[in-house]
Amino acid sequence: MARVRLSGPAEVDLGNILATSLERWGAAGRTRYAALFAAAIRAIASRPTGPTTRARDELLPGIRSFHVRHVRGDQGVKAPVHVIYYRQSRSDLIEIVRVLHERMDPGRHLESGTASAR
């Protein structure tokens, strides 16, 4: 399994997402969504080019995406709405570039996240 590193913008994204989860669904909801993200990151680390990931070279070379709805488990999140954008910089390292809401245009947000992850 590859190691995972979060870019600065990805850390901010996750912090904001989990803060919003806390406001909307309380501590239990935040905990469930955090567990979902942890499971999603483990899934990416174990199969970075697996069947539930997408090559997103139209955005930036080497970028892939994984929608967290593809995580199977008992986190109790009914309808997750976030996409993790990442790249495999070495065979043993995955860089999470951004974590965006599915309705956000990744082309508008990836360039700033990519610069700090390089």
CATH classification of the domain holding 39: 3.30.2310.20
**Residue 117's pLDDT band (boundaries 50, 70, 90)?**
very low
Q: Which tokens go with 17? A: 């997402």
pTM here is: 0.90
Is residue 118's pLDDT more than 50? no
**pLDDT by residue (tens digit) across 53-112?**
999 999 999 999 999 999 876 677 888 999 999 999 888 999 999 999 999 999 999 874
Q: What's the number of domains the chain is made of?
A: 1
Is residue 116's pLDDT more than 80? no
The torsion angles phi and psi of 80, rounded to 5 degrees, stand at -65, 145
The Cα–Cα gap between 8 and 96 comes to: 9
Is residue 114's pLDDT more than 60? no
Res 115: pLDDT: 44
Residue at 70: amino acid letter: H
Range of the domain at 84: 3-117
Angle in degrees, 0-180, between the axes of helices 8-46 and 106-117, rounded to the nearest 10: 90
